[in-house]
Structure 1
């Protein structure tokens, strides 16, 4: 599927010393994606059960329904074949097919590979399931889906599979995607642990908001990152830099750690609120269907509003 990955969108400028680890990470991701794609489709199917979609009358090519002819409408709108079946006149309505752009991004940086004994999956795998599941749902309603800096937005029934393929071409995963291609009237979904310095997250949100796009943030955390159940001599390692820190009594750090995490989370929530965005916290020991349903609901409402105010 490399043809679907625009060469102008591929990250470049990687230090040659990084290639062994990059290749190893790429192989690990490529090996995991088929299973994650299957899981994403299962989760998407569970969310879509009972969901009636956003079908409505309007310009398009797909037949939707017949309805009675209303006096004053142009005669050319009458479907004479259907009307010939009885004594009433009918109009053939088509489904409104005004697609909009949704940019999706999952943080695949090293910190997302974390998984504790309290969770069945890593943060990375859960983020990918949410991204691919959302792509599956959006593809069903004909939206244009893209990956910032990686894949141009397209409307495709097989969008989840195409995106999974495009993800294997990411040479250097980053937590926050490029914003240069994001435009007004689009939606941006960012799924990650959002543990970058708050100034960096704030700048990214401002850049996206300045384009006129709307955002949806999903903070994915392992439950152990909330509870901090460590005691005694414990060594902590930063997966991004490799820095190691050892403490003799880890329990003495618990309160301050939790206060800092709560302050960080509150700051992101406030940034999202000011921008008019949604913010969801998801723990990897909870079902993936929960944040996926919330995202789908938020996106459906926003895209309906766009359709009402800006057709096409």
Structure 2
């Protein structure tokens, strides 16, 4: 049987009294932030870390002129060398905007002995590391509903401070769904959560975020015990959102039905993403965090060839 526990609120929150400052949160993120910066350094090329044609001042390449194009782009000096006309292309240098949302609701405090860390810690690591990676690639990144888009290399402490301020607000309660806002056209969203919420409500929130054409990606964080249901014998289950308890004598007898319901729920979450043309990326906390970060970067590149490269 797997040992499990829930982090209490004092463990889930980052307290200024115990941590000293917002900067100390970066120190809590072990290898992923360092790995993300190393990955970013290896892939960033050019002014904004990408090599594709677009609006900018930096020369990229010459290519043959195509009939119907504006003659203003023709490089006459290069064209004079042979019998063809050539266009002088420049690199794309327009930064994109990416909004990141990190679920800090009670269910994210779950951790089992099978996991490397709790879901909330993994979500924070991925969200902050992704922000750092995107900024290093020339993008502007915001913490959804909390900060304006930023392009500063010190993005991690900015995000941590914003979360600290929110958690100190009287009456603060972490939400299971992202902020009820509409994102600008051509922007991107990265939602990191266990998505243990009503799929219909999630689909409606995604539709709102994407109402003006924003693209997005769901990163679902799961503990291995949540997916494999390794419980046997007498087991007590606790509801993280209430005082409800369930005691069962033979937990293993519930495994098949549990996994079937979990599979159905995940399919409903995937469908909520697909309805708005968003992607879905599952990630387990017994896997290296770098796997999810790299997979997310590839999703962002596939969604828009210029972003995060």
Would you say same fold, with TM above 0.5?
yes
Residue 154 (structure 1) shift: 2.1
Residue 54 (structure 1) shift: 1.1
In the other structure, the counterpart of 2:102 is 106
Q: Give 3-state SS (helix, strand or coil) of 1:169's partner.
A: helix
**Closer, same or farther: CA 54–110 of 1 in aligned 2, 3 Å:** same
Unaligned stretches of 5+ residues in structure 2: 1-7, 65-70, 78-87, 168-172
8 A contact 2:144–2:178 mirrored in 1:
yes
Residue 295 (structure 1) shift: 1.1
In the other structure, the counterpart of 1:291 is 292
- 2:27 corresponds, among 12, 23, 35, to 35
RMSD between aligned residues: 3.3
Residue 66 (structure 1) shift: 8.5
The separation in 2 between residues aligned to 1:269 and 1:235, in whole angstroms, is: 30
Residue 276 (structure 1) shift: 1.4
Residue 164 (structure 1) shift: 2.0
8 A contact 2:95–2:138 mirrored in 1:
yes
Q: Deviations over 1:217-250 (max 9, x none)?
A: 0110000111111111111111222321111111
In the other structure, the counterpart of 1:198 is 199
Unaligned stretches of 5+ residues in structure 1: 1-20, 79-91, 307-312
| 272-281 or 283-292, which deviates more | 272-281
Relative to the length of structure 2, the TM-score reads: 0.76
Q: Give 3-state SS (helix, strand or coil) of 1:218's partner.
A: strand
Higher helix share: 1
In the other structure, the counterpart of 1:166 is 162
Residue 189 (structure 1) shift: 0.4
The separation in 2 between residues aligned to 1:176 and 1:140, in whole angstroms, is: 28
**Closer, same or farther: CA 296–234 of 1 in aligned 2, 3 Å:** same
**Closer, same or farther: CA 41–245 of 1 in aligned 2, 3 Å:** same
In the other structure, the counterpart of 1:81 is none
The separation in 1 between residues aligned to 2:120 and 2:26, in whole angstroms, is: 14
Residue 37 (structure 1) shift: 4.1
In the other structure, the counterpart of 1:272 is 273
Give the number of equivalent residue pairs.
Answer: 272
- 2:115 corresponds, among 119, 127, 145, to 119
The separation in 2 between residues aligned to 1:250 and 1:38, in whole angstroms, is: 35
| 1:45 and 2:37 matched | yes
Relative to the length of structure 1, the TM-score reads: 0.76
Residue 127 (structure 1) shift: 0.6
Q: Give 3-state SS (helix, strand or coil) of 1:152's partner.
A: coil
| 1:26 and 2:22 matched | no
Describe how 1:1-312 pairs up with structure 2 within 5 A: 25-27=12-14, 31=19, 33-37=25-29, 39-48=31-40, 50-51=42-43, 53-56=49-52, 59-60=55-56, 64=58, 96-171=92-167, 172-304=173-305
| 170-179 or 213-222, which deviates more | 170-179
8 A contact 2:182–2:210 mirrored in 1:
no
Q: Give 3-state SS (helix, strand or coil) of 1:104's partner.
A: strand
The separation in 2 between residues aligned to 1:54 and 1:124, in whole angstroms, is: 32
Q: Give 3-state SS (helix, strand or coil) of 2:236's partner.
A: strand
**Closer, same or farther: CA 67–231 of 1 in aligned 2, 3 Å:** closer
8 A contact 1:101–1:186 mirrored in 2:
yes
**Closer, same or farther: CA 93–272 of 1 in aligned 2, 3 Å:** closer
Residue 56 (structure 1) shift: 4.5
Q: Deviations over 1:58-87 (max 9, x none)?
A: 5557xx56879x9x989x999xxxxxxxxx
Residue 35 (structure 1) shift: 2.6
**Closer, same or farther: CA 290–50 of 1 in aligned 2, 3 Å:** same
